[in-house]
Chain A
Amino acid sequence: MSAAAPTQDGVPMLAVRGVKTYYGKIIALKGVDLDVHPGEIVALIGANGAGKSTLMMTIFGTPRAREGRILYEGRDITRLPTHEIAKLRIAQAPEGRRIFSRMTVMENLQMGASVADAAHFEEDLARVFRLFPRLKERLHQRGGTLSGGEQQMLAIGRALMSRPRLLLLDEPSLGLAPLLVKQIFSAIRELNERDKLTVFLVEQNAFHALKLAHRGYVMINGQITISGPGRALLKRPEIRAAYLEGSRIEQVQGKR
Chain B
Amino acid sequence: MAQEGNSTRQRDFAGALKHAALAALIAFGLFSLLVGIRTDTGSGGALELTARYEMLAAFVAVAFIGAFLREFLFAGATFDAASYVPAALRGFAARIAPFLGPAFLIVALAVPIIFYDNRYILDLSIQILTYVMLGWGLNIVVGLAGLLDLGYVAFYAVGAYSYALLAQNFDLSFWICLPLAGILAAFWGILLGFPVLRLRGDYLAIVTLAFGEIIRLVLLNWQSLTGGPNGISSIPRPSFFGLPFNSDEGGFAHTFGLEFSPTHRVVFLYYVILVLALITNAVTIRLRRLPIGRAWEALREDEIACRSLGINTTNTKLTAFAIGAMFGGFAGSFFATRQGFISPESFVFQESALVLAIVVLGGMGSQIGVAIAATVMLGGFEFFREFQQYRMVVFGLAMVAIMIWRPRGLISTRVPSVFLTKEKPVDIALAREEGRG
Contact = CB atoms under 8 A, between A and B. Distances in A.
Interface of A: 60, 62, 81-84, 86-87, 91-92, 94, 98-104, 106-107, 110-112, 114-115, 122-123, 125-126, 129, 136, 139-140, 142, 158, 162
Interface in B382-420: 414, 416-420
Contacts of A111: 294-295, 298, 306, 309, 311
Given A100-B298, A123-B432, 17 more contacts: A62-B307, A83-B307, A83-B310, A83-B312, A83-B313, A94-B304, A99-B305, A100-B301, A102-B297, A107-B294, A111-B294, A114-B295, A122-B428, A122-B432, A122-B435, A140-B416, A142-B414
Given A100-B298, A126-B428, A126-B429, A107 B417 contact: yes
Nearest to A95: B304
B297 A100 contact: yes
Nearest to A97: B305
Interface in B322-369: none
Given A83-B310, A114-B311, A100 B420 contact: no
B308 A92 contact: yes
A104 B311 contact: no
B307 A82 contact: yes
A242 to B, nearest CB: 30
Contacts of B428: 122, 125-126, 129, 136
Contacts of B435: 122
Q: Which 10 A-B pairs have the closest CB atoms?
A: A86-B310, A115-B310, A100-B301, A98-B305, A82-B307, A92-B308, A104-B416, A126-B428, A83-B312, A122-B432
A5 B283 CA distance: 53
B296 to A, nearest CB: 11
Contacts of A107: 294, 297, 416-418
Contacts of B422: 140
Contacts, number: 94
Contacts of A82: 307-308
A151 B291 CA distance: 22
12 contacts: A81-B312, A83-B311, A98-B305, A99-B305, A100-B301, A100-B302, A106-B419, A111-B298, A114-B291, A114-B310, A114-B311, A122-B428
Contacts of A104: 416, 418
B416 A162 contact: no
B432 A102 contact: no
Contacts of A106: 416, 418-420
B419 A98 contact: no
Nearest to A112: B309
B301 A94 contact: no
B431 interface: yes
A87, A102, A106, A110 interface centre (most CB from chain B within 10 Å): A102
B10 interface: no
Given A114-B295, A139-B421, A140-B422, A103 B416 contact: yes
Nearest to A94: B308
A126 B312 contact: no
A180 B256 CA distance: 75
Contacts of B312: 81, 83
A81 B418 CA distance: 29
Contact of A100 (B305, B310, B313, B421): B305
A198 to B, nearest CB: 17
Interface in B262-305: 291, 294-295, 297-298, 300-302, 304-305
A62 B306 CA distance: 13
A241 to B, nearest CB: 35
A146 B163 CA distance: 50
Contact of B414 (A84, A99, A102, A110): A102
Nearest to A116: B310
Contacts of A83: 307, 310-313
B364 to A, nearest CB: 10
A200 B209 CA distance: 44
